[in-house]
């Protein structure tokens, strides 16, 4: 039977590594990849929450491996890759989702805080790509999906460190896509807008604060973590085989304004 359009979205037996997968966007992404047929390795700092994500993946009938990791630690990153290779023998897809930020005026931001957010949001992507890259280059195939943000494209008051780091992730993605295209490795990024998670609930559960943020979104609602899953599956699958160096924005239309 000829391959169908939907067949190209399947990830049967692909090995996917997702950072920051214990909750929020990372958990939703890991579950979406498993639903598409992938075996998933999940990493984060929280062991208990990470095991919950792995258990949910196994309930879908897929293999899951939970490995605690602080992506700011080069040795921990290397250990994750080594263990994944030992357990699965390859890494087909890397999703660099771990990250964070805060709203804080620049003059109230210490150098330590600045470096912490740059390290978490940008340097961690460098570390993971440098650790996984040789394995993908050896096999001449692989897909890397970096989590950027609409704030990597647009500025925002009191979010200088976050905007700087996510803007750098976008440029890192574009440059690496060019560098590794000869190895048949596709590198793309997602740039979400406001998404409801445990970390943003304090905004959107507050009627006054939440309404102020939502009023800036043309679709007049906040996004849900599960809405990123289909896009990640697309970028991880053969359906996006001719795409590299791209940034997909999912923000309810906010950056179009």
The CATH code of the domain that includes 157 is 3.40.50.720
Catalytic residue numbers, as ranges: 162
Q: What are the tokens at 20?
A: 């920051």
pLDDT in tens, 29-40: 999 999 999 999
- Assign 201 a pLDDT band (cuts: 50, 70, 90): confident
In a domain, 218, yes or no: no
pLDDT above 90 coverage of the chain, percent: 86
In a domain, 254, yes or no: no
CB atoms within 10 A of CB 255: 14
- Mean pLDDT over the full length of the chain: 95
Residue identified by tokens 């304090």 is 202
In a domain, 52, yes or no: yes
Residues 37, 10: contact at Cβ < 8 Å?
yes
In a domain, 199, yes or no: no
Residue 174 makes CB contacts below 8 A (sequence gap 6+) with 245, 247
pLDDT in tens, 123-153: 999 999 999 999 999 999 999 999 999 999 9
In a domain, 203, yes or no: no
In a domain, 129, yes or no: yes
Specify the pTM. Answer: 0.95
Q: Name which of 83, 74, 168 is nearest 129 in CA terms.
A: 74
Round to whole Å and give the CA distance between 162 and 71: 17
pLDDT confidence of residue 3: 83
How distant, in Å, are the alpha carbons of 8, 25, 38, 83, 167 from that of 61? 20, 21, 10, 21, 37
Strand order in the sheet with 185-192: 64-68, 39-44, 15-19, 93-96, 142-147, 185-192, 247-250
Q: Domain limits at 127?
A: 6-192+228-248
pLDDT confidence of residue 210: 85
Number of domains making up the chain: 1
């Amino acid at each position: 039977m000829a391959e169908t359009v939907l067949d190209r979205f399947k990830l049967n037996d692909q090995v996917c590594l997702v950072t920051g997968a214990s909750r929020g966007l990372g958990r939703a992404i890991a579950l979406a990849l498993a639903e598409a047929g992938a075996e998933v390795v999940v990493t984060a700092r929280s062991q208990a929450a990470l095991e919950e994500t792995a258990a949910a993946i196994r309930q879908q009938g897929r293999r899951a491996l939970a490995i605690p990791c602080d992506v700011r630690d080069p040795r921990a990153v290397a250990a994750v890759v080594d263990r994944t290779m030992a357990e699965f023998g390859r890494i087909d897809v890397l999703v660099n989702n771990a990250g964070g930020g805060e709203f804080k005026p620049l003059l109230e931001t210490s150098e330590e805080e600045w470096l912490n957010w740059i390290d978490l949001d940008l340097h961690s992507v460098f570390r993971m790509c440098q650790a996984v890259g040789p394995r993908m280059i050896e096999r001449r195939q692989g897909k890397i999906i970096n989590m950027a943000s609409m704030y990597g494209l647009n500025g925002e008051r009191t979010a200088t460190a976050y905007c700087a780091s996510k803007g750098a992730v976008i440029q890192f993605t574009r440059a690496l896509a060019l560098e590794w295209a000869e190895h048949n490795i596709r590198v793309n990024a997602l740039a979400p807008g406001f998404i409801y998670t445990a970390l943003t609930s304090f905004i959107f559960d507050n009627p006054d604060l939440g309404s102020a943020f939502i009023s800036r979104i043309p679709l007049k609602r906040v996004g849900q973590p599960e809405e990123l899953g289909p896009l990640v599956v697309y970028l991880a699958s053969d359906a996006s085989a001719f795409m590299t160096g791209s940034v997909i924005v999912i923000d309810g239309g906010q950056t179009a304004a």
